[in-house]
Structure 1
Amino acid sequence: MKKKGFLIDMDGVIYKGSEPIPGAVEFINGLKEKGLPFLFLTNNSQRTGRDVCYKLNKMGFKVNETDIFTCAMATARYLASKKENGTAYVIGEGGLLTELYNAGYSIVDDQPDYVIIGEGRTIMLESVDKAINMIMKGSKLIATNLDPNCPMGEGKYRVGCGALVAMLEFATGIKAFSVGKPSPIMMRMARKALQLTTDETVMIGDTMGTDILGAGSMGFTTVLTLTGVTKKEDLGHFGYSPDFIIQSIKDLLNEDLFNQVIGGRVMADIW
């Protein structure tokens, strides 16, 4: 079998809410059995890799903490490569704070090197005011991702990191730098973590503007699944397209289709 590895989005691809998408458990556990490398890529910075792994294990996925790669991890590692032992003021939750600590960063509330924005369910306006003043005084504005909203299931959404960042950008006149999908920084880090080349990397995702755009720009093989936010009728709005379109990750249990993806034979529609 030609060497391939997979970068896989989670929400809308392998599960919705607390329920796995049919066929997802069999597909992921099958990758493990075949010894094919993969990483779950998520733009959610709230939870640690251990937290995410626990959730997946409860659903039946036989995965480890090392199979998880979050935008919080990408952000922390990127900043550590630019400034060792830096300081940050953070609007976000445990996943982001943990990764920054692991990268050698100190969390402060006065003259930080960076103001870092992640997801948060209990953001106070006082924190936003502090962030604005820090940015105006020279702290650099970093976003873990620019997703405008986050799906919660049952057709409900909550405010995403990108919406909060947009408010800070408007208030300060400073544009944020983002490391999360579709940034090539996160995509490249994930590929290197799997020790793959560009043509050995396959991205499976449900979002055109993050998963497919980011992976396609890197030259990865892209697979769009229609179980998440993107529907078939949406595709005409984009100036780019995935290499493969599938109804569900369950379709990849079909050996012929799986081998087509592995082989990189592009097919516009597969049903």
Structure 2
Amino acid sequence: MKLGFLIDMDGVIYKGSQLIAGAAEVINRLVKQDIPFCFITNNSQKTRRDVALKLRKMGIYVEDRHIFTCAMATARFLASQKPEGTAFVIGEGGLNLALHTNGYSITEDHPDYVVVGEGRVINFENLEKATQLVHAGAKLIATNLDSNCPIENSIRPGCGAIVRLIEEATGAKAFSVGKPSSVMMRLARKQMGIDTEHTVMVGDTMYTDILGGVEMGYQTVLVLSGGTTEEEINHYSYRPNHVIPSIAELPSLYPEIFEDTYQKPAKSTPRKKLEEPLVTVS
């Protein structure tokens, strides 16, 4: 049975609007050879169609079915917990559409949940309203708990930083559906149609991508093109199976999957050995 790849996006495929070198070639090879894969992202702002369009404009020729966002995971989870429920939402179009698609209504009037995602249109009025609703009994949901997200040459505040304001004000603890939650990791794998043993998680963040993969029993590949340096790996009690400079090196790890089309990228940085043996996930 073929391996299937769950692939993070920010820091793995691109940073902001800047495509990471070699990413398009690797993903297009997956598409051409019909190797199962799914982009799995903790960014809730855009719909899967918007994400697919962004990638195609970058020269990565994927379809909507290749995208799975934390907004989709959150909406499906809430629909399974309370069908036809209601929510007050801090976020953007991707989160709102996912909730509507799964039977949820958006309201400020005694909602079942306050759902916090990412966005650049967040203001204090929304945060104040969310705080009041949670204080009145609405359950607090976060699409993810990332403190920050990588952008070109810097970072920006993530959903985790935003939701902590509401947690501090109310004393409530948000339930997160995004990576490393097993909810999202399992839903994405099922969408891809691959079993646990043959699933590989490729990401740039130890406490979301790699932790989620290790806890689920997936093979894990950490790329150093995003938010984690090789020195930081030793700060964690768990380890990835492989560490590579960028996704451009992925075919060198799985030559039997990429067949004979693989050609090693020019001027690639040699992979370094970790100080301790890598975890072998069975």
Matched, 1:171 2:169: yes
Aligned length: 262
Which of these residues, 231, 240, 243, is aligned with residue 242 of structure 1?
A: 240
Q: Which whole-Å CA distance do the structure 2 matches of 1:216 and 1:69 have between them?
A: 19
Question: How do 1:1-271 residues align onto structure 2 when only pairs under 5 Å count?
Answer: 2-155=1-154, 157-254=155-252, 257-259=253-255, 269=273
Q: Which whole-Å CA distance do the structure 2 matches of 1:118 and 1:100 have between them?
A: 12
Contact 2:15 2:150 (C-alpha < 8 Å) held by counterparts: no
Contact 2:84 2:105 (C-alpha < 8 Å) held by counterparts: yes
Contact 1:71 1:144 (C-alpha < 8 Å) held by counterparts: yes
TM-score normalised according to structure 1 size? 0.93
Contact 2:113 2:141 (C-alpha < 8 Å) held by counterparts: yes
Q: What are the Cα deviations for residues 17-38 of structure 1, in whole angstroms up to 9, with x where unaligned? A: 2232121111111111221111
C-alpha deviation, 1:207, in angstroms: 0.3
Which SS does the other structure have where 2:233 is aligned?
Answer: helix
TM-score normalised according to structure 2 size? 0.89
C-alpha deviation, 1:182, in angstroms: 0.4
Q: Which whole-Å CA distance do the structure 2 matches of 1:250 and 1:207 have between them?
A: 17
C-alpha deviation, 1:67, in angstroms: 0.5
Which SS does the other structure have where 2:225 is aligned?
Answer: coil
Letter in 2 for 1:238: Y
Which SS does the other structure have where 1:101 is aligned?
Answer: helix
Q: Which whole-Å CA distance do the structure 2 matches of 1:159 and 1:207 have between them?
A: 15
C-alpha deviation, 1:119, in angstroms: 0.6
Which SS does the other structure have where 2:254 is aligned?
Answer: helix
Q: What are the Cα deviations for residues 98-132 of structure 1, in whole angstroms up to 9, with x where unaligned? A: 10010110000110000000012121211111111
Contact 1:243 1:268 (C-alpha < 8 Å) held by counterparts: no
Contact 1:242 1:268 (C-alpha < 8 Å) held by counterparts: no
Which SS does the other structure have where 2:115 is aligned?
Answer: strand
Contact 2:201 2:221 (C-alpha < 8 Å) held by counterparts: yes
Q: Which whole-Å CA distance do the structure 2 matches of 1:260 and 1:170 have between them?
A: 50
Letter in 1 for 2:255: N
Q: Which structure 2 residue ranges, 5 or more long, are not aligned?
A: 259-270, 275-282
C-alpha deviation, 1:269, in angstroms: 3.4
Aligned CA distance change for structure 1 residues 226 and 260 (closer, same or farther; 3 Å) = farther
C-alpha deviation, 1:250, in angstroms: 1.1
Identity of aligned residues (%): 57
Letter in 1 for 2:29: G
Aligned CA distance change for structure 1 residues 181 and 205 (closer, same or farther; 3 Å) = same
Q: Which structure 1 residue ranges, 5 or more long, are not aligned?
A: none
Aligned CA distance change for structure 1 residues 145 and 59 (closer, same or farther; 3 Å) = same
Contact 2:204 2:227 (C-alpha < 8 Å) held by counterparts: yes
C-alpha deviation, 1:195, in angstroms: 1.6
